[in-house]
Amino acid sequence: MDNLEPRFRRVARFVSPVDRGFAAIVYAGSILFALLIIGLFVELVLGSWPSIAAFKFSFIWKSEWDPVSNKFGALPMIYGTVVSSFIAIALASFVGIMAAVYLSDFAPRWLANPLSFLIELLAAVPSVVYGLWGLFVLAPFVRTGLGPVLQHVLGWTPLFAGPIYGVGLLTGGIILSLMIVPTVTAISRDILVAIPRDLREASMAVGTTKWEMAMRVVLPAARVGIFGACVLALGRALGETIAVTMVIGNRPQISASLFAPSYTLASVIANEFTEATTSLYISALIELGLILFFVSMIVNGVARLMIWSVRGSDRTA
């Protein structure tokens, strides 16, 4: 009710039984989600308890993952998950937002609708298809085309040094970026379209070009919403499993090079859960799930803080 003017608030209070019933349904709906999250968290903690008891905090900063001798550490997977997702969001946000600007302000209508339909269709492609495409098309391309070029230009930085296997952190990040681009574009476009016409007309009236209008007026007005779209996309990237598993190289190591094979939290679980037999091993895998839960929470939390700070600066401006 906070978004109503004070004089309406009294009227909007729940008065009739129908209103009360509706309120109950709405509350129940939101409480259900809270309970689901709490239940998930409790289950994860219970399931990973043997591993938490055995390794304490060393689970988070140890790099060894050896099921044969029951030594488990999650650091390489945390690193792989976070870095591959950030590569993905860096690529996807730039391309995705530019596509959204084109669709909302530049594309003729006969082109804009089919084009946004096509982009949204990308979201419907099953992730295993992305994975297979990544393995058979993208990975060889990275090994023979993109990789050598990057290494030639930027090989002096540790980021692009070392042997190029085709599969690795960079390939995983590129696959992820393709998968989350539809989310960024579709939501950003909707937000851009919803920016009032007056703003655009006012901008044109003071003599800006269309380009200046889009970049200096429309995009800044929509930045909070677009940032939210990126956060949503990042959440998907963090948890994506099969496609990444197929192209990231599945090697629990931390390497400065983006060409090196890496591993993500979700991939380890997908790879090893079905054949894990000892209880400590299973519990360590569940603890990876718990860590993924925390990583997502922290990333979302930081994103929230950033949104708030953007809003805050809007208000003071």
Partner 1 sequence: MIRSLSRWFSTLGVVAAMTLPAVAATQLTGAGSTFDYPFFSKAFYIYSQQNPDVTVNYQSIGSGGGIQQFTAKTIDFGATDVPMNASELARAGQPVLQLPVTLGGAAIAYNLPGVTKPLRLTRQAVVDIYLGKITKWNDPAIAKSNPGVSLPDMPIVVVHRSDGSGTTYIFTDFLSHVSPEWKSKVGTGKSVSWPAPSAVGAKGNEGVAGQVRSTPGAIGYVELAYVIENHIPAATLQNRAGRWVPVSPETVAAAAAGRPDVNASNFSIVDEPGANAWPISGYSWVVVYKKPSDANRAKLLYNVLTWLVGPQGQSNAKSVDYVPLPGNVQATALSTLKQMQH
Residue ranges that bind partner 1, judged by CB under 8 A: 64-69, 135-136, 139-140, 143, 163, 165-167, 245-246, 249-252, 261, 263, 267, 270-277, 282
Closer residue to partner 1 (CB): 65 or 160:
65
Closer residue to partner 1 (CB): 130 or 263:
263
The per-residue DSSP string of 65-113 comes to EETTTTEE--HHHHHHHHHHHHHHHHHHHHHHHHHHHIIIIIS-HHHHH
Closer residue to partner 1 (CB): 143 or 189:
143
* Least distance in angstroms from the C-beta of 64 to partner 1: 7
Closer residue to partner 1 (CB): 279 or 309:
279
Give alpha helix (H) positions in the chain. Answer: 6-12, 17-55, 58-61, 75-101, 109-122, 127-133, 139-141, 147-154, 169-194, 197-205, 210-212, 219-221, 223-239, 242-247, 265-272, 279-316
Gap between the Cα atoms of 179 and 233, Å rounded: 9
Gap between the Cα atoms of 44 and 266, Å rounded: 14
* Least distance in angstroms from the C-beta of 305 to partner 1: 36
* Per-residue tokens: 277: 């037999």
* Least distance in angstroms from the C-beta of 160 to partner 1: 18
* Least distance in angstroms from the C-beta of 73 to partner 1: 11
Please, are residues 253 and 260 in contact by the beta-carbon 8 Å criterion?
A: yes
Q: Report angle CA 188, 190, 191 to the nearest 5 degrees.
A: 65
* Least distance in angstroms from the C-beta of 63 to partner 1: 11
Closer residue to partner 1 (CB): 5 or 275:
275
